[in-house]
Amino acid sequence: MSFRAAGVLFFSGLMAVIALSTGGRMYMLVALVLFVMFALSIISSLWAFLTLGADVSVSGEDIPRGESRTLRVTLKHSCPLPIAPVWAEIRAPSLDGNDREAVRIPARAFNPRSSAVRIHCPHVGRFTVGLTKLAVEDVFGLFSFHRSRPEWCVDTLVLPRVEPLDCPPFSPGESETELVSRATEDATSPSGVRDYQPGDEMKKIHWKLSLRKREILVKTFDQPLRPDAVVLLDCALPARSGLSHDARDRLCDIAASMCAALLSADAIVRMPLTGTPPEDVTLRKGDLLAPALRSIARMRFSGQTPFERVLALESARMRQSGTTVCVTGSLSPESADRVIRLRRLGPTVRVYLVADNPDERQRVLLQKLRQNDVECVVRQSASVSGAAVPRAGGKAL
């Protein structure tokens, strides 16, 4: 019972006492009207509450971030007396994944009525959407009864957005060490000849052509491109400033877009995710990108392993790949040194740094990487479209 209902009941009793004391019929009429209003309010609200049925469904499957889903709510009750529109508390994905929005949904007696609520999904991740509470009120606002059911909420997965990115070049072997070049060259397909250099193996000398040209010529061989690619997403939280939701979305978008670009180039993509839960994603020619997007969306950036430690653990795999793409929100001297060491072994390396305003320390590390033939790209952690995020709202159908 609300404070307003208590006031109505008090004034109804007060008017009845005054009417009995003075014999005034007008006071008795006011007392009866207030009492009838009190009785109708509690009967209608309680009756509708006890017979209220709700069905909640969410349209569509997993969606990219920035889009909206339709939450369809169907209400039905068996009370012939009028009641106010049902007050519904909607849970929608937001900055903390636990934002609640209050809307009014009309309900008819003996006739189910559906209403549609647009749920905006601005961030990547797993969220719970649906109804957290339904409250039935009378038309006078004297009584309110509410209930909640676990089945009124469903889990939804908001996927990263795939943007067009250029595929990084694969290592052809020209910039690799002599040891790596010998291991990767194809001895069955000579591509040409060149002048002899001190240290060349005797078995590579083209003897017939050398006798004809009267100079020592050495066979050159094709070195096939390595089709493997490694995408490393920094899943650890930065120790200083933390990771904003926009920066986290941007990291996921870049990782997903790079997987799509490499997969379109028929590369074998391997992406170890060290967040929670940890996963190891592998994509080959002909595979769908959707499983990788779901793995990225399910992961939470709570990994305790620093990015430089991840680079050390994946060094053997990266040395055997043709290219490596690192996506991080913060560079450290240790991670920069490991990237440079990897580039000197042969594979091409591209580093994506997601930061709104890189500090002097980050700029120095980026310059150091570029000087060692590492491609560096700085991306802003902007929101979906720079526009204001719409709030959930109900619309009767």
Task: For 178-215, write each residue's pLDDT tens digit.
Answer: 434 444 444 445 667 778 888 777 777 888 888 888 88
Tokens 């620093």 map to which residue?
Answer: 306
pLDDT-derived band at 325 (thresholds 50, 70, 90) equals very high
Q: Is the pLDDT assigned to residue 397 strictly greater than 60? A: no
pLDDT recorded at residue 241: 52
pLDDT recorded at residue 89: 86
pLDDT per residue as tens digits for the range 67-84: 888 888 888 899 998 899
Predicted TM-score (pTM) of this structure: 0.72
Task: Classify residue 323 by burial, with Cβ atoms within 10 Å: 0-12, 13-18, 19+.
Answer: buried
Q: Do 157 and 97 meet the contact criterion of CB atoms below 8 Å apart?
A: no
Query: Percent of the chain scored above 90 by pLDDT?
Result: 18
CA distance 338 to 365: 12
DSSP strands (E only) in 32-122: 53-58, 63-64, 68-76, 86-92, 99-105, 113-120
Q: What is the mean pLDDT of the chain?
A: 81
pLDDT recorded at residue 178: 41
Strand partners, 116: 72, 395
pLDDT per residue as tens digits for the range 217-230: 887 765 554 578 89
Q: Is the pLDDT assigned to residue 387 strictly greater than 60? A: no
pLDDT per residue as tens digits for the range 300-309: 887 677 888 8
pLDDT recorded at residue 190: 60
CB neighbours of 353 closer than 8 A, spacing ≥ 6? 328, 329, 330, 331, 362, 366, 376, 377, 378, 379
Q: Is the pLDDT assigned to residue 317 strictly greater than 70? A: yes
Q: Do 231 and 254 meet the contact criterion of CB atoms below 8 Å apart?
A: no
Q: Do 59 and 69 meet the contact criterion of CB atoms below 8 Å apart?
A: yes
Give the best-scoring range by mean pLDDT among 108-117, 159-168, 206-215.
159-168
How far from chain centre, in Å, is Cα 163?
14
CA distance 350 to 10: 75
CA distance 119 to 67: 9
pLDDT-derived band at 385 (thresholds 50, 70, 90) equals very low
CA distance 135 to 129: 18
Rg over alpha carbons for the chain, rounded to the nearest Å, is 34
CA distance 305 to 288: 29
> Of 250, 218, 220, 221, which Cα lies nearest the Cα of 234?
250
pLDDT per residue as tens digits for the range 235-284: 886 555 556 778 888 999 999 999 999 988 888 899 998 888 888 899 98
Mean pLDDT for the stretch of residues 368-383: 85
Q: Do 145 and 45 meet the contact criterion of CB atoms below 8 Å apart?
A: yes
In this structure, the dihedral spanned by the alpha carbons of residues 253, 255, 258 and 263, taken in order and rounded to 10 degrees, is -110
